[in-house]
Structure 1
Amino acid sequence: MKGVLLVNLGSPDSPTPKDVKPYLDEFLMDERVIDVSKWLRNIIVRGIILQTRPKKSAEAYSKIWWEEGSPLVVISERFAEKVKQFVDMPVALGMRYGSMTIKNALQELKDKGVDDVLLVPLYPQYAMSSFETVVVKAIEDKDAFFPEMKLTTLPAFYKNQEYIKVLSESIADGLKDFDYDHILFSYHGIPERHIKKSDPTKFHCKIDGNCCSTNSVAHHSCYRHQCFDVTEKVKAYLGLPEDKVSLSFQSRLPNDPWLKPYTDFEFERFPKEGKKKLAVITPAFVSDCLETLEEIAMEGKHQFQEAGGEDYKHIPCLNDRDDWVQVMVNWLKDWQENELLPA
């Protein structure tokens, strides 16, 4: 019997340092997030970061926490419930980090008689620290606890035409009645070395301004290329002016080269160039989360206005939009009936 496992990032159980600390420990100790030797990662995470970060992160979570709970979890649950209404096979929701584990979600599917699972990482682009870690963890849990299960993974869907259409139309909805000077596509940041580690050719990805536009098999696992590709496809779909659209990367750790340009630097630069009405989109996520709601929608707005910006609008992620739900349903039915996966 076939079934579906949707997996998103995860969240602490509450916006308190007590619950944030174990969540951050699991997240940052992931070797695909901080990709150094385990002993060094242990020093960095448990010896340094977790001494101060839980309190700061808890304060950030408190700013965006909903009455029903973590926005990312609540949105993911709403999305999953809508999807269930349109497919006649079991659908479970798990999280890569936190108490809503992948193992528990697989158990839920097994209890319903499922032995053939479609794993759906809820990330449009491929990256070690998002898509890949979900796949690796799901395989580990399946092999350890559910060896009889078959597991198929939905590929990163960044260039799928149906996805680009719903993303573009959600952006168009967000831009209605907003007289913008500029539109910024802000993607989650990752270290430059992650790009090179994910390059199967071990020579194509040089991050030199040309490699992302030069055709290569490396693009199948190149997060940077896929971010550029999404931006270009949305620009083309909506007919956006070339000079009014740009791309950047948010969230980074110090003392390490991460993908550029940095979003916070762009917030400071735009007003100086006369771009004082800014719309910001965050297409590395399909569900709004701490990074989009606090870092971009709140802190980004403050930084932009402090630099002289006037109007600022954060356009929400796809979340549980009906047209996005229908796209996912179409993919699931194609797999259920014909074993077809989106391209």
Structure 2
Amino acid sequence: MKGVLLVNLGSPKSTDPKDVKTYLGEFLMDERVIDLPKLLRTILVKGIILNTRPKQSAKAYAKIWWDEGSPLIVLSERLQNKVDDMTSVPISLAMRYGEPSIKNGLQELYDQGVTDVLLVPLYPQYAMATTETIIVLAEELRDQFFPKINFTVVPPFYNHPDYVTVLARSIADKLDHVDYEHLLFSYHGVPERHIRKSDITNSHCKIDGSCCQTPSKAHQFCYRHQCYETTRLVGEKLGLKEGTFSTSFQSRLGFDPWLKPYTDRTIEKLAKDGIKKMAIATPAFVSDCLETLEEIAMEGEEIFHENGGKDFHFIPCINDRQDWVKTLSRWIDEWANQPVKDTKAS
């Protein structure tokens, strides 16, 4: 029997600093998020970050928390329920960090008789700290607790025509009656070393301004290339003129080089350069969350206004839009109608 496990990032249980600390501890101790040797990672996370950041993050979460709970969890549940109504196989939901856990999601499917699971990381672009860590943990849990389960993993869909159409339409819907001068595509940042570590050629990724446009097998796992490609494809779909849109990266942590240009500095520069009306989309996220609702919609707007900008238009993620629900449901049904592969993982 077939079934689907949708997996998103996760969220604290509440805005209480203790719950935020627990969540951040699990998240930041992941070796694919902070890829330092375990001793150094432990000193950094448990010795420094978890003693300073939870209260600050708790205040940020409190700004965007809904009556129903964490926006990311609520929106993911809405997506799950809508997809479940439109598909012919069981649909479960899990979070990489926090609850509901991937183990619980797999158990829920297994208890229904599912032995062939479509694993759907809800990230359009591939990255060590997102798609890869989900797959690795799911496989570890499968090997330990669910040896009869087979996995099929949905590949990154950053350039899938269906996804590009949905994303472009979501942007157009928001901007249809809005006057703006520049559209910024802001993606979650990662350390530059993550890009090089993901380079299966061990030589292509130079982060030099040209490697992402030069065809290579490395692009299969290159987050930077996939972000720029999403921007390019959506720009073409919307018929945007060169110079009226650009790409940036947000949410850097620590002092190591992260992908540039940085979103906060880009917003500041746009305002200082005379842009009075801007819009911003966040295509690295399927569901709105702290990084979109607080960091972009609140902090980003504040930066823009402080530096002379006037109108700031935040574009929500695709969340549980009906066209996204239909697209995801169609992908699932296409997979569900294929013969079951007699393999442990694919």
The answer to whether 1:6 aligns with 2:13 is: no
Shift, 1:88, TM fit: 1.4
- Look up the equivalent residue of 2:289 and give its one-letter code: C
Q: Which runs of 5+ in 2 are unaligned?
A: 341-346
Q: Is the 8 A contact 2:12 2:19 kept in 1?
A: yes
RMSD of the alignment, in Å? 0.9
Q: What's the CA shift string for 1:195-238, capped at 9, x where partnerless?
A: 00000000000001110000000000000000000000001011
Q: Which amino acid aligns with 1:94?
A: A
Are positions 1:218 and 2:204 aligned together?
Answer: no
Amino acid at match of 1:159: N
CA distance in structure 2 between the partners assigned to 1:108 and 1:255 by the alignment: 41
Aligned counterpart, 1:272 = 272
Q: AA paired with 1:48?
A: I
Amino acid at match of 1:89: V
Matches within 5 A, 1:3-152: 3-152=3-152
Q: 1:339–1:198: structure 2 CA closer, same or farther, 3 Å change rule?
A: farther
Q: Which amino acid aligns with 2:266?
A: E
Q: Distance in 1 between matches of 2:223 and 2:339?
A: 26
The one-letter code sitting in structure 1 at the alignment partner of 2:302 is H
CA distance in 2 between partners of 1:74 and 1:87 (Å): 20
The residue that corresponds to 2:164 in the other structure is 164
Q: Name the residue aligned to 1:338.
A: 338
**Which consecutive unaligned segments of at least 5 residues does structure 1 have?**
none
Q: Distance in 2 between matches of 1:339 and 1:160?
A: 23
Instruction: Determine whether 1:173 maps to 2:176.
Output: no
Does the residue aligned with 1:200 lie in a helix, a strand or coil?
coil
**Alignment match, 2:244:** 244
Alignment of 1:256 with 2:219, yes or no, is: no
Q: Does 1:295 align with 2:291?
A: no
How far apart are 1:254 and its partner, in Å?
3.1
For the residue of structure 2 that corresponds to 1:206, the secondary structure is coil
Tell me how far apart the structure 2 counterparts of residues 168 and 29 of structure 1 sit (CA, whole Å). Answer: 35
User: How big is the shift at 1:132?
Assistant: 0.6
SS across alignment from 1:61: helix
- For residues 335 and 110 of structure 1, the distance between their equivalents in structure 2, rounded to whole angstroms, comes to 18
- AA aligned opposite 2:235: K
1 CA distance for matches of 2:339 and 2:265? Answer: 45
Distance between the aligned counterparts of 2:338 and 2:144, measured in 1? 29
Matched residue type, 1:331: W
Distance of 1:285 and 1:256 partners within structure 2: 23
Q: How does 1:227-238 map to 2 (within 5 A)?
A: 227-238=227-238
Task: Give CA deviations for 1:38-79 in whole Å, capped at 9, x if unaligned.
Answer: 000000000000001000000000000000000000000000
Q: SS of the residue aligned with 1:332?
A: helix
1:306 shift after superposition: 0.5
Provide the C-alpha distance between the structure 2 equivalents of 1:117 and 1:107, rounded to a whole number of angstroms: 11
3-state SS in 2 of match to 1:207:
coil
Preserved CA contact (<8 Å) 2:274 2:308:
no
| Aligned-partner residue type, residue 210 of structure 2 | N
Secondary structure at 1:338's aligned position in 2? Answer: coil
Question: How far 1:191 sits from its partner (Å)?
Answer: 0.2
Q: What is the identity, as a one-letter code, of the residue corresponding to 1:336?
A: A
Q: Identity over the aligned pairs, expressed in percent?
A: 62
Separation in structure 2 between the aligned mates of residue 238 and residue 300 of structure 1, nearest angstrom: 23
| Superposition deviation, residue 126 in structure 1 | 0.2
Cα distance between partner residues in 2 of 1:18 and 1:258:
29
Q: Distance in 1 between matches of 2:63 and 2:180?
A: 27
| 1:308 corresponds to 2:308 | yes
TM-score (norm 1): 0.98
Paired residues, number:
340
Kindly report structure 1 stretches of 4+ aligned residues shifted beyond 2 Å.
none
**Cα distance in 2 between the residues matched to 1:207 and 1:339:** 41
Shift of 1:339: 5.9
Q: Tell me the distance in 2 between the aligned counterparts of 1:191 and 1:171.
A: 28
* Amino acid in the other structure paired with 2:169: E
Taking the aligned partners of 2:153 and 2:241, their CA distance within structure 1 comes to 36
* Cα distance in 2, alignment partners of residues 43 and 320 from structure 1: 39
Deviations 1:16-54 (Å, cap 9, x if unpaired)?
Answer: 101000100000000000000000000000000000100
Q: Return the letter of the residue paired with 1:105.
A: G
Cα distance in 1 between the residues matched to 2:139 and 2:253: 29
Q: Deviations over 1:178-206 (max 9, x none)?
A: 10010000000000000000000000000
SS of equivalent to 2:280: strand
